[in-house]
Amino acid sequence: MAHEKSEIPRNSSCALRYRESIALGREPDLDETTSLLLRLLNEHGVRLHALLAKITLRSDVAEELLQDLFLKLRKADGLARASRPEQYVFRSAINIAFDWRSRKGREVNAAPLNGEEACSRPSSIEHVMGREELDRVMLAVEQLPPTERELVVLRFLHGSSYEKLADQIGSTPHRVRALCSKAVLRLRKQLDPDYIMESSDAE
């Protein structure tokens, strides 16, 4: 299977902005972790920004969090020991975005995420939801167990396939699909009180 490439060219202003913002490559001697981070930033920086923007609903916040993410990963030793660096970085991005949402609580004010500002095409879930509804869903996703939260974000916001997610967590597509279904059921119960009543009546 060919390596999955970003839909946005690396020389786009969005991609360049993040590579230049870290400015790690100016140092004469790069350690192993820094070199790995630069490679991951080149390959996934645009997608990471897009994912952060979709979780926070703020493109400006996503830019700040992306810089924070790479600076923190550069100082930590977890990335160098990770068997799957890409998965480690995306998991860290999801955690840092939801940590930001937790600190802000219900004070999150959505900003427009159009065109290159969002650095991504809208996900399937964004096509059927308004921004306020998406924010409400993100509040519910925040309450999911860590594994289910990660899978929901990567599947429904990031657009990862069940096969890729299964490879990332060392499972099967069938198992990942079941976990996603379970997470969606949790979200439905939390977001739709009428669903709980209907389920109780059915029993």
pLDDT digit string, tens, across residues 73-85: 988 888 888 888 9
The band of 5, judged by pLDDT with boundaries at 50, 70 and 90, is very low
Residue type, 55: I
Phi, psi of 109 (to 5 degrees): -110, 115
Tell me the C-alpha distance between 99 and 114, whole Å: 24
Query: How many percent of the chain have pLDDT more than 90?
Result: 41
In the chain the domains, ranked by start, together with CATH numbers, are 1-121 (no CATH), 122-203 (1.10.10.10)
pTM, full prediction: 0.72
Of 133, 148, 149, nearest to 97 by C-alpha is 149
Q: With helix as H, strand as E and coil as C, how does 68-114 read?
A: HHHHHHHHCCHHHHCCCHHHHHHHHHHHHHHHHHHHHHHHCCCCCCC
Q: What is the pLDDT of residues 166-191, one digit of tens each?
A: 998 889 999 999 999 999 999 998 88
Tell me the C-alpha distance between 62 and 67, whole Å: 9
Query: How many percent of the chain have pLDDT more than 70?
Result: 67
